[in-house]
Amino acid sequence: MDWFVGVLSLLCCFVLYYRHLQSKKTCKEEPTEWPLLGHLFGMIADLRRPDYHDWATVVLAGTRYNFPAHAGLTGVRYFVTCDPSNVRHIFTSNFLNYPKGEEFGQIFDVLGNGIFNADGESWQRQRAKSQLLMAGPRFRVFSARCGRDKIGLPVVPFARAMDDVLATVILRHIIPPACWRLMYRYELGPEKKMAVARRTIDQFAADMIAKRKSEHNLCGESVSESSDMLSSFISNGDASDEFLRDTAVNLLLAGRDTTGTALSWFFYLLCKNPRVEQRILDELAPIAATKMLATANDMVVFDVGELSNIVYLHAALCECLRLYPPVPFLHKAAAAGDVLPSGHEMKAGDKILIYSYSMGRMEGVWGMDCMELRPERWLADDRKLRYEPSYKFMAFNAGPRTCLGKEVAFTQMKVVAAAVLWNFAVEAVPGHVVEPKLSIILHMKNGFAVALKRRNFPSVHG
């Protein structure tokens, strides 16, 4: 009987201590902090939530935009923030003290020493080279058949491998480094997919580099004549195979899914906001009428130059990127001790997650209507585009590491969005569940099932 009393007493103590921990929370959704293991249980359990990004947003809103998370004795520790003042400090004011960090390079080792992982002089050299190449008149990021799987088409191994990498990298942020490295070495658990994916990606990159080298040897193109960035690096003749591999994989990650993902969310939002869709159609109508009058084809494709002054479409795309940034969070590390504008102290080696998804949904940052799709917030009184600082709108990173492909991405999105919207009515399939996938890239978990219906505008030819 004594043992029963003892167990009951321990259980009562456990319940009382749990209630004490719960009472210390500033936000009821905040994961419980346990002795020795910190937030580990909550960090692992919450990864299974279908609304993980929205849950993180609620936690950050309830903790005044900042949340120190740690997994106790495992050594996993992050400072999570969506505070614009902290972002400005980390990405601009004290930029040199907050590199990507060695551990990020290990977590995302599939990128090698490419520009995403690089810091210091290596990053500066690669960025300067990329800026020079992107300024060229024939710039293309990378030409390769590596798109996502399409209905009725065969599976693309590279695309599947990259999806597996992005999903596994999320887990590496939670699992202690020693554990996931051991699993990767022996190909256990989720790391088995990572190991297989790494081999697929390496082989794809090697094949593409060999193809580009062969084309270069046959054609003898100079840097100015090269049609894409990878070919331009090859034509220089001073790049190692390892550097070319890392560059290729980085370029593929940057250009493969980010723009496509943004457009998927854009059409999803328009399905829920017909007012915005109609405003875009009204804006496109004069250009479309002119094009239809000049040709006998009722299918309209817009040129880049024709869309340069289309501001409402641009504003609507900005709104989509605010609510659904292709990269929902960014990773930094403190090189030396520092105190953030929020008052939180950072020690050397501390890891920081900047949650851009949550920042776009904070009332204190974007106003009471922050959850609404309102392109008008991006328009000034003179109907021109309003500037928003990058530390507040982080869809293209911020500070010195602002995305070099920002203008290219906007150009691509506007051309595609304008052509699809003018020629087709995009309607979401009733009952189809749309929610973000837990990944480094903000994919739709179940894709976006739609029905396309050809629009019937009055013919301008009579």
> What is the per-residue pLDDT for 325?
96
Phi, psi values for residue 436, rounded to 5°: -65, 145
Rounded distance, CA 165 to CA 41, Å?
24
Dihedral of the CA atoms 190, 193, 198, 201 (nearest 10)? Answer: -140
| Positions in the chain whose pLDDT score sits under 70 | 1-28, 32, 34, 36-47, 72-75, 133-155, 219-228, 237-238, 256, 294, 296-297, 457-462
Q: How distant, in Å, are the alpha carbons of 3, 15, 21, 42 from that of 56? A: 42, 26, 19, 12
Reported pTM:
0.86
SS3 457: coil
Contacts of 26 (CB under 8 A, 6+ apart): 62, 63, 64
Burial class (CB in 10 A: 0-12, 13-18, 19+), 442: buried
| Ramachandran assignment for 365, one of left (phi > 0), alpha (psi -120 to 50 degrees), beta (any other) | alpha
Rounded distance, CA 132 to CA 124, Å?
12
Q: Are 291 and 331 in contact, with CB atoms under 8 Å apart?
A: no
Rounded to 5°, angle at Cα 153 from 147 and 159: 30
Rounded distance, CA 288 to CA 460, Å?
10
Rounded distance, CA 54 to CA 29, Å?
11
| Segment 192-240, tens digit of pLDDT | 999 999 999 999 999 988 888 887 777 655 544 455 677 777 777 667 8
Rounded distance, CA 37 to CA 48, Å?
19
Rounded distance, CA 321 to CA 316, Å?
9
- Reported as type and span, the H/E element at residue 285 is helix 274-294
Domain boundaries defined on the chain = 258-335+367-454
Displacement of CA 116 from its chain's centroid (Å): 13
Q: How far apart are the first and last CA of the chain?
A: 96
Q: Are 329 and 29 in contact, with CB atoms under 8 Å apart?
A: no
SS3 69: strand
Q: Are 274 and 453 in contact, with CB atoms under 8 Å apart?
A: no
> What is the per-residue pLDDT for 239?
76
Token representation of residue 160: 């599947």
| Segment 112-126, tens digit of pLDDT | 888 888 888 888 888
State the architecture of 258-335+367-454 in CATH terms.
Orthogonal Bundle (1.10)
